[in-house]
């Protein structure tokens, strides 16, 4: 959908490609971090480019610059460079080891110093499951298709593990800390197309959106199940 580029003195120093699946909700602004290093203390210009990939509409609201992350503990105290406070307002965001970051937090200044209690800024907890859908093919009811392995990332999870469940009798699930294996069981099924869902959730935090993975399994000869074919004209050069 979009490529974000950072150019310092005519040289690209960082870029990030944003896909449609990276947007968590339609019609809402979303922030993306693009870490970069100017690589020169004498840099005279920094340019930010928003390049569309394909026929999409992109609205860019603002570009915010943050210093590199530094270790901190509460209370955090920081001296303004040369006691220069500008408008007496400072914002910070908090980053974890995976790169997830909180929303900007206003920090209170007192004569050049600031203090902050971490409880005021919470990193967003979310579940990411890839791929978002599964397709499996069984030659017949006696041959199970190859299992599908999904990657499950629980960003900023602190209150317990995620879980996966399904109501389909022809699906079996097994999981590790960061993977989910989906196995199709065609035993006793007539030839045809079967569709179901796997729900991945975080039971310890009901405020976190669950993820539905669509699963499709075909049993039998795919050419007989889907007889419709599309023929394209051949081009001879």
Position with higher pLDDT, 23 vs 233: 23
Q: What's 192's DSSP letter?
A: E
The mean pLDDT of 195-219, rounded to a whole number, is 89
For the chain, give the mean pLDDT: 78
Task: List, for residues 178-187, the tens digit of each pLDDT value.
Answer: 899 999 999 9
- Which pLDDT belongs to residue 237? 45
Of residues 196 and 98, more confidence is placed in 196
Whether residue 196 has pLDDT greater than 90 = yes
Phi-psi map region of 96: left, alpha, beta (phi>0 left; psi -120 to 50 alpha): beta
Residue 31 has pLDDT above 60, yes or no: yes
191 vs 207 pLDDT, higher one: 191
CATH 2.30.110.10 fits 126-224, yes or no: no
pLDDT at 189: 93
| pLDDT-based confidence at residue 164 (cuts at 50, 70, 90) | very high
Q: Can you tell me the mean pLDDT for 63-79?
A: 71
**All structural domains of the chain with their residue ranges:** 1-62, 66-122, 126-224
Residue 166 pLDDT exceeds 80:
yes
Whole-number Å distance between alpha carbons of 119 and 91: 16
pLDDT score of 146: 92
Query: Looking at residue 169, what is its pLDDT?
Result: 94
pLDDT reading at 207 higher than 80: no
CB distance 48 to 6 below 8 Å = yes
Following DSSP, what letter does each residue of 53-112 receive, concatenated?
-SS-----------PPP----SSP--PPGGG--TTT-EEE--B-TTS-BPPPEEEEEETT
Work out the pLDDT band at 120, boundaries 50, 70, 90: very low
Distance separating alpha carbons of residues 64 and 46, to the nearest angstrom:
13
Average pLDDT over residues 164-187: 93
- The mean per-residue pLDDT over the stretch 110-128 comes to 56
């Amino acid at each position: 959908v979009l490529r974000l580029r950072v150019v310092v003195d005519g040289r690209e120093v960082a870029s990030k490609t944003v896909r449609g699946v990276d947007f968590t909700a339609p019609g809402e602004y979303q922030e993306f971090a693009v870490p970069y290093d100017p690589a020169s203390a004498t840099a005279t210009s920094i340019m930010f480019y928003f390049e569309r990939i394909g026929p999409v509409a992109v609205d860019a609201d603002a570009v915010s610059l943050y210093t590199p992350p530094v270790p901190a503990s509460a209370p955090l105290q920081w001296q303004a460079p040369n006691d220069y406070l500008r408008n007496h307002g400072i914002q910070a965001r908090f980053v974890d080891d995976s790169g997830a970051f909180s929303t900007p937090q206003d920090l209170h200044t007192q004569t050049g110093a600031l203090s902050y209690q971490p409880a005021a800024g919470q990193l967003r907890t979310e579940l990411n499951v890839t791929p978002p859908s599964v397709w499996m093919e069984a030659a017949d009811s006696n041959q199970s298709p190859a299992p599908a392995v999904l990657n499950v990332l629980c960003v900023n999870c602190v209150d317990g593990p995620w879980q996966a469940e399904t109501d389909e009798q022809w699906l079996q699930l097994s999981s590790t800390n960061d993977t989910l294996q989906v196995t199709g069981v065609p035993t006793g099924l007539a030839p045809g197309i079967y569709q179901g869902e796997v729900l991945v959730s975080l039971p310890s935090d009901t405020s976190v959106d669950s993820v539905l993975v669509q699963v499709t399994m075909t049993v039998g000869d795919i050419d007989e199940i889907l007889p419709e074919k599309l023929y394209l004209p051949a081009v001879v050069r």
